[in-house]
């Protein structure tokens, strides 16, 4: 269970960050409210991506049928 949780966290973090950076590159020239990619907003983008990845990973803990003996989140966020 821990491997699935960590793997989900890492993959979702990278996927979300990739989408954010790609959108900044594509839409910053066409939309005036989308800021161009910079070092400053890359730091805030990665922190947002880590948060989204973590939330997605903890969502895995709501599935009480997947390895219930290893799911340490079952009593906290598990849907019974």
pLDDT digits (tens, 9 = 90+) for 22-54: 999 999 888 889 888 899 999 999 999 999 999
The position carrying tokens 């973090």 is 13
Number of neighbours of residue 41 by Cβ within 10 angstroms:
15
| pLDDT of res. 55 | 92
- Residue 37 is predicted with a pLDDT of 87
DSSP per residue, 18-68: HHHHHHHHHHTTT-TTSPPP-HHHHHHHHHHHHHHHHHHHHHGGGBTTSST
pLDDT of residue 61: 78
The three-state DSSP-derived secondary structure of 9-28 is HHHHHHHHHHHHHHHHHHHC
Q: What is the pLDDT of residue 12?
A: 96
pLDDT band at 63 (very low <50, low <70, confident <90, very high): confident
21 confidence band (pLDDT: 50, 70, 90):
very high
């Amino acid at each position: 269970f821990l491997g699935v949780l960590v793997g989900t966290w890492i993959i979702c973090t990278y996927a979300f960050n990739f989408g954010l950076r790609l959108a900044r590159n594509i839409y910053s020239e066409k939309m005036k409210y989308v800021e161009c990619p910079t070092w400053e907003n890359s730091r805030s983008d990665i922190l947002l991506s880590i948060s989204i990845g973590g939330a997605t990973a903890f969502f895995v803990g709501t599935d009480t049928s997947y390895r219930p003996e290893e799911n340490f989140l079952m009593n906290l966020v598990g849907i019974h």
